[in-house]
């Protein structure tokens, strides 16, 4: 039985995981670095430990032992898809809330994962480890050992392939410590559709439907939703079966995601498997009622999945927008500074997963994701209306954000009609036109004095300092941060 978990992450995902652990009666310990000692996740934790890096496997194991934690939850990013951490946990007698090391290794290697999927009968895009036939162009050069757009190049002509492979190889080596690249057939204007999967250690597997993740910048998602407007009941059954075949092929344990690309003709192909919780998992939770972190903990504890596939269903529609500290109009330049005004929206059907508040410092040390705005409504049309209202009500001043940019995307006719693909932003250059004036909401918010503290207190290693619920070192935090992940939903 898991009694205490070290959350080996930061920001909104660390806070979100801690909510579920507390609801399950499980103690949670946070970690923070010197560059992150003012982080909200450390402030809200009842126990927080200073570490030198979020990427040091040995240090995380030592910290878990020091905290007397019997499990580690890696969240997403950082060590979440690091087979070495999963293996080190097993060696140390600590439960890793995630897949087995071999699963992470096999699915983390893009070439190996595609071979495994081919053998399992899952459709895969044609790939080459050398030069493809001239007739197959355009092609993508991709890194074998990583993702997120690093080491990726689009090649339109055979004459450009060698240079693209050399450039991609250098970038992949710097980003992942692995210079291997391969060539993949490029499919124009695809949708990015992923399926949430669950697998236990007793051989049971489920999929929890699809998420549409086609709105992307720099090959990274910024808006996700479920259900997808492109997925019919028949296609959902077919893609779901492929996702389950992928899970069985690697004896998947835990919560994971099988990602597909869907071409304009309705054909789908395996893209990759993410062996962790996804940033966009809340939209699945909002439409199914499942708590995916709770399911992860149950599976890691050795429990069987309590559902059959036919027990699962979706109600309504959910959309997530990622709130970044970046300037879309300036090639998504990151923005740093102190958040001076922070007034997030509230109301029926709105959930906010946030890692910041007023006074939080946004630095260049970490990913610029500040928060995730998630809405639920009975229909897609009403979910779009709710998201428009939520984004319009969201006031965040002190650093530049993409909130206005997201508003413009949601307001387009193509988004309303569900005409989505991974080239959406390329087709809409008008979205990158900066607003001509400061929104009225921002002016009004700046004129209202708020009673909150400046959030600048430093967090040191502390155990047992929390004096009451939602309180650290005698300073109360807003109810929004202590009421669970489904705020006002």
Q: How far apart are CA 320 and CA 279, in angstroms?
A: 10
* Contacts of residue 155, Cβ cutoff 8 Å, sequence gap at least 6: 137, 138, 139, 140, 141, 161, 164, 183, 186
**3-state SS class at 321:** strand
DSSP string, 267-307: -EEEEEEE-S--TTHHHHHHHH---HHHHHHHHHTTPPPS-
**3-state SS class at 440:** helix
Residue 327, judged by CB atoms within 10 A of its CB (0-12, 13-18, 19+), counts as middle
Residue 247's φ and ψ, nearest 5 degrees, are -65, -45
CB 339 within 8 A of CB 399: yes
Active-site annotation holds for 276: yes
Residue 222's φ and ψ, nearest 5 degrees, are -130, -20
**3-state SS class at 135:** helix
Q: What is the DSSP letter of 423?
A: T
Element (DSSP H or E) covering residue 142: strand 139-143
CA dihedral 59, 64, 70, 76 (to 10 degrees): -70
Q: How far apart are CA 175 and CA 150, in angstroms?
A: 7
Helices and strands of the chain, counted as H and E runs: 15, 26
Q: How far apart are CA 219 and CA 202, in angstroms?
A: 36
CA-nearest of 66, 23, 71 to 47 is 66
Question: If you search the block for the tokens 């071979």, which residue do you land on?
Answer: 115
- The 8 Å CB, 24+ separation contacts for 200-205 are 200/253, 200/299, 200/303, 200/304, 200/305, 201/253, 201/299, 201/302, 202/304, 202/305, 203/251, 204/304, 204/305, 205/244, 205/247, 205/248, 205/252
Residue 124's φ and ψ, nearest 5 degrees, are -130, 140
Q: Of the residues 276, 298, 351, 358, which is catalytic?
A: 276
Bond into 156 cis (ω within 30): no
Q: Which residues are catalytic?
A: 276
């Amino acid at each position: 039985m898991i009694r205490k978990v070290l959350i080996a992450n930061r920001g909104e995902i660390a806070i979100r995981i801690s909510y579920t652990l507390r609801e399950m009666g499980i103690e949670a310990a946070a970690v923070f670095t010197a560059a992150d000692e003012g982080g909200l996740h450390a402030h809200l934790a009842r126990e927080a430990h200073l570490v030198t890096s979020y990427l040091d496997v040995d240090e995380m194991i030592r910290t878990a032992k020091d905290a007397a934690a019997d499990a580690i939850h890696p969240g997403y990013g950082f060590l979440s898809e690091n087979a070495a951490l999963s293996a080190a946990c097993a060696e140390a007698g600590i439960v890793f809330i995630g897949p087995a090391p071999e699963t992470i290794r096999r699915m983390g290697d893009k070439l190996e994962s595609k071979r495994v999927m081919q053998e399992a009968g899952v459709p895969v895009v044609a790939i080459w480890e050398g030069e493809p036939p001239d007739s197959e162009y355009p092609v993508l050069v991709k890194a074998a050992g990583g993702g997120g757009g690093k080491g990726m190049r689009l090649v339109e002509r055979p004459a450009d392939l060698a240079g693209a492979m050399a450039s991609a190889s250098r970038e992949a080596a710097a980003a992942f410590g692995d210079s291997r690249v391969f060539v993949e057939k490029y499919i124009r204007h695809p949708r990015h559709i992923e399926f949430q999967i669950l697998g236990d250690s007793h051989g049971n597997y489920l999929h929890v439907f699809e998420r549409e993740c086609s709105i992307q910048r720099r090959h990274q998602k910024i808006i996700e939703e479920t259900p997808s407007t492109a997925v019919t009941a028949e296609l959902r059954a077919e893609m779901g079966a492929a996702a389950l075949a992928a899970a069985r092929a690697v004896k998947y344990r835990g919560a994971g995601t099988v990602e597909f690309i869907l071409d304009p003709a309705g054909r789908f192909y395996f893209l990759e498997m993410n062996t962790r919780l996804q940033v966009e998992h809340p939209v699945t939770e909002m439409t199914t009622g499942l708590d995916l972190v709770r399911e992860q903990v149950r599976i890691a504890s050795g429990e069987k999945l309590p559902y059959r596939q036919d027990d699962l269903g979706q109600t309504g529609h959910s959309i997530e927008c990622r709130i970044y500290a970046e300037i879309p109009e300036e090639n998504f330049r990151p923005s740093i500074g102190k958040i001076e005004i922070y007034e997030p929206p509230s109301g029926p059907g709105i959930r906010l997963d946030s890692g910041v508040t007023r006074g939080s410092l946004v630095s260049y040390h970490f990913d610029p994701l500040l928060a995730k705005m998630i809405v639920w409504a009975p229909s897609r049309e009403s979910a779009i209306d709710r998201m428009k209202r939520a984004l319009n009500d969201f006031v965040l001043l002190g650093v530049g954000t993409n909130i206005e940019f997201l508003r413009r995307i949601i307001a387009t006719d193509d988004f309303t009609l569900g005409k989505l693909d991974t080239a959406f932003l390329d087709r809409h250059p008008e979205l990158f036109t900066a607003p001509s004036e400061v929104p009225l909401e921002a002016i009004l918010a700046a004129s209202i004095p708020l009673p909150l503290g400046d959030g600048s207190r430093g967090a040191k290693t502390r155990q047992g300092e929390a004096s009451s619920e939602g309180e650290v070192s005698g300073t109360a935090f807003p109810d929004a941060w202590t009421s669970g992940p489904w705020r006002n939903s």
